[in-house]
Amino acid sequence: MERYLLLRFAGSKYCYILRSKEGEVFGMGIFYFNKRDLKERTIHEGYIGLKIEYRGIGIGTLARQYAIEHFAKTGYLMGVSSRISLDNFASLKGNMKLGFEIKEKYWDKEENKERAYLVCDLSQYR
């Protein structure tokens, strides 16, 4: 209960920034809690982005892995959730590599495409 309260009052959004040794910002990730996440004791991976020249070499996956390992240390959180368009093969591949599993598929009317709700069980990172 105390960890839940800490997470609840410490903030509802978490962000990381990726920068080169020269100081160039080339990527970021945003995680947050929504009602479903609070109920299921997960945190949602809301946005992950990298500049084009840094894509496809594993940096995004590694950054997300560090974030997942950080969340696993809380002990309270049970998983990390994500929503991905099924035609976004790079993101889908990276998430599956990290241990995300598709829990449900649905049609997103706003994006006019099929999407998936995925969850990564944090017990594999403890």
DSSP 41-102: TEEEEEEEEE-GGGTTSSHHHHHHHHHHHHHHTTSS--EEEEEEETT-HHHHHHHHHHTEEE
Residue spans of the domains in the chain: they are 2-125
Res. 11 pLDDT band, cuts 50 70 90 = low
What would the mean pLDDT of 36-47 be, rounded to a whole number? Answer: 94
Helix (H, G, I), strand (E, B) or coil at 71: helix
pLDDT of 25 strictly over 90: yes
CATH 3.40.630.30 correct for 2-125: yes
Res. 9 pLDDT band, cuts 50 70 90 = low
Q: What is the pLDDT of residue 109?
A: 97
Res. 44 pLDDT band, cuts 50 70 90 = very high
116 neighbors 84 (Cβ within 8 angstroms): yes
Q: What is the pLDDT of residue 8?
A: 56
What would the mean pLDDT of 91-113 be, rounded to a whole number? Answer: 96
pLDDT of 10 strictly over 80: no
pLDDT of 5 strictly over 90: no
Tell me: the pLDDT tens digits for 46-82? Answer: 999 999 999 989 999 999 999 999 999 988 999 999 9
